[in-house]
């Protein structure tokens, strides 16, 4: 009986305790009306991906929509097909091309054009950036092509004129005479682009026209060593994204969520030749400058700082006993350059250009690549741990601040080669049957050693046609080893010279 009594006492205590707890919860914790979280001072926000609206920062998954951006971008992206003369290619190049075509199209090779001297070389993409028919693409898309066809989004086709190329940035400018209203792309701001921001890649991968893919910006000012040049003038400050890009996308558009052009898709990181996770685009800030120069001058007006540089890493900082682990180490200064005139010295560490911090060579190159000879940039640097600043006047590859011109008859001096050159007159071009550049004077240098006579007209350099002085500078810039010069003697006789650069 005693045990039964104790059991009922414990049961009664449990019932009373539970009732008290329930009463406290109902009175103090359970709200009397339904809570509207959006009306509280600290609302609960739905999570999602995308670019926040500055007016309404609330962003939900259903807001992820690239339809409008794609509608704006696709009409301005064109399909480019290139053709070349197989007689101008080596057997190895032809075999490589046939292997490539078989990989993409099976055993049946693409048809030759009606002109038996032309065979299709490849394809890519381009972006209309001006109503007058100007198109930007990659240099590697049109390189060595004898004919360039542009197919519009509406399937109309035009043969394009090559306005100019810039291997240093892998960009080229084309022009078509269209009989329709063109819809150029609106420029965005690649400087304002942020890591994590959504972007679209628009192009023609594997000849699949008007293809749109999406991804995010995964890095900026990325150097992947794809534009290696012996002269060190290759500019790599790519926008890295994870938007899917494949062969045929080259030269196409990278656009932001507003449908604005922020870059030109150029390369992929891959061991297979197809997309493997990351793609790279030239920032629109560089594209605009290169386009303007090629359209106006036929050559990029490249302003050079005049320094040899290395990234400051932890190892380099320790090795050279530097006071910082950031910035760009000046490994050398070029004679008669703007840098040496401004007081920069070997051992200095550049940390800022025109108010923008630079911590990698790619970042420094991107800032300088937007400038022209004669422009001045404010450089902040460290010397022995002390911060200093100076203004550097940039110079061209000839060591002057002049803009390189294609004006007929105007003298241009290439001091490193000891020659002065000038474009020939239209009358002389008609007389010899081709365009060319005349060597007006020769002093001590490589041309003198090769016994090239004054008055010689250069028509080709390493089999590439020369039309203007700008072409001579472009084709000889940074050359090492033997160079073949073709042209005409003052007597009208054809001539060939091999020059050791």
Distance CA(437)–CA(470), nearest Å, equals 9
Sign of the four-CA dihedral 115, 118, 120, 125: negative
Dihedral of alpha carbons 317, 322, 326, 328, sign: negative
Question: Known catalytic residue: 489?
Answer: no
Residue in 170, 293, 348, 471 annotated catalytic: 170
Question: How many other CB atoms are found less than 10 A from the CB of residue 456?
Answer: 22
Neighbours of 119 (CB within 10 A): 22
Give the pair of three-digit tokens for residue 300. 């990029």
**Which residues have CB under 8 Å from 156's CB, separation 6+?**
178, 180
Strands 261-269 and 198-203: unpaired
**Terminal Cα distance for the chain, rounded:** 116
Give kind and range of the element (H or E) at residue 124.
Answer: strand 119-130
Is 157 catalytic? The answer is: no
Q: Strand pairing of 278-283 and 328-333?
A: unpaired
Residues paired with 386 in a beta bridge: 383
CB-CB contact of 49 with 63 (8 Å): no
Strand bridging mode 77-84 / 119-130: antiparallel
Would you say the C-alpha torsion 399, 402, 408, 410 has a positive or negative sign?
negative
Contact 255, 71 (CB under 8 A): no
Selection from 158, 164, 123 nearest residue 252 by Cα: 123
Residue 188 CA from chain centroid, whole number: 15
Q: How many CA atoms lie within 13 A of 81 on its CB side?
A: 19
| Pick from 170, 214, 172, 218: nearest CA to 196 | 218
- What token pair was written down for 124? 């890519």
Query: Which residue in 250, 257, 279, 469 is the catalytic one?
Result: 250
Q: Does the annotation mark 337 as catalytic?
A: no
- Six token digits for residue 219: 């890095």
Q: DSSP string spanning 375-406? A: -EEEEEEEETTEEEEEEEE-B-TTSSSPPP--
For the chain, how big is the Rg over CA atoms in Å? 31
**Which one of the listed residues 79, 123, 125, 140 is annotated catalytic?**
140
* Helical (H) or strand (E) element with 447: helix 446-449
Alpha-carbon gap, residue 324 to 316, rounded angstroms: 10
Strands 238-241 and 253-256: unpaired
**Positions marked active-site:** 140, 170, 250
């Amino acid at each position: 009986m005693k045990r039964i009594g104790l059991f009922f006492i414990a049961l009664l205590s449990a019932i009373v305790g539970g009732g008290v707890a329930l009463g406290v919860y109902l009175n103090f914790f359970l709200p009397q009306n339904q809570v509207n979280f959006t009306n509280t001072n600290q609302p609960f926000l739905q999570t999602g991906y995308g670019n926040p609206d500055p007016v309404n920062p609330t962003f939900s998954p259903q807001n992820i929509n690239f339809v409008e951006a794609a509608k704006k971008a696709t009409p301005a992206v064109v399909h480019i097909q290139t053709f070349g003369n197989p007689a101008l290619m080596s057997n190895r190049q032809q075999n490589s091309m046939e292997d490539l075509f078989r990989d993409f199209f099976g055993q049946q090779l693409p048809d030759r054009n009606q002109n038996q001297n032309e065979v299709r070389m490849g394809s890519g993409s381009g972006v209309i950036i001006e109503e007058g028919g100007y198109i930007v693409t990659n240099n590697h898309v049109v390189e060595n092509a004898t004919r360039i066809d542009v197919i519009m989004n509406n399937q109309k086709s035009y043969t394009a004129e090559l306005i100019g190329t810039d291997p240093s940035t892998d960009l080229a400018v084309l022009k078509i005479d269209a009989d329709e209203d063109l819809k150029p792309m609106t420029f965005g701001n690649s400087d304002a682009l942020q890591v994590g921001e959504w972007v679209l890649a628009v192009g023609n991968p594997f000849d699949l026209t008007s293809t749109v893919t999406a991804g995010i910006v995964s890095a900026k000012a990325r150097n992947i060593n794809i534009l290696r040049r012996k002269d060190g003038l290759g500019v790599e400050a790519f926008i890295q994204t994870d938007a899917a890009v494949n062969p045929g996308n080259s030269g196409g558009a990278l656009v932001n969520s507003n449908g604005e052009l922020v870059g030109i898709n150029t390369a992929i990181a891959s061991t297979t030749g197809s997309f493997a996770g990351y793609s790279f685009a030239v920032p629109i800030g560089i594209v605009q400058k290169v386009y303007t120069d090629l359209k106006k001058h036929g050559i990029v007006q490249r302003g050079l700082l005049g320094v040899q540089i290395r990234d400051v890493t932890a190892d380099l900082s320790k090795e050279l006993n530097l006071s910082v682990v950031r910035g760009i180490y000046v490994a050398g200064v070029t004679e008669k350059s703007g840098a040496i005139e401004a007081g920069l010295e070997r051992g200095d560490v550049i940390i800022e250009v025109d108010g923008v911090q630079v911590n990698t060579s790619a970042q420094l190159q991107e800032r300088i690549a937007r400038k022209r000879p004669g422009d001045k940039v404010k450089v902040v640097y460290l010397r022995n741990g002390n911060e200093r600043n100076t203004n550097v006047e940039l110079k061209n590859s000839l060591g002057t601040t002049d803009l390189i011109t294609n004006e007929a008859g105007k003298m241009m001096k290439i001091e490193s080669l000891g020659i002065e050159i000038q474009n020939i007159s239209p009358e002389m071009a008609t007389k010899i049957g081709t365009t060319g550049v005349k060597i007006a004077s020769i002093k001590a240098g490589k041309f003198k050693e090769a016994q090239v006579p004054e008055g010689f007209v250069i028509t080709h350099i390493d089999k590439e046609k020369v039309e203007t002085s700008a072409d001579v500078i472009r084709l000889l810039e940074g050359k090492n080893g033997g160079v073949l010069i073709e042209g005409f003697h003052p007597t009208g006789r054809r001539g060939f010279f091999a020059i050791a650069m």
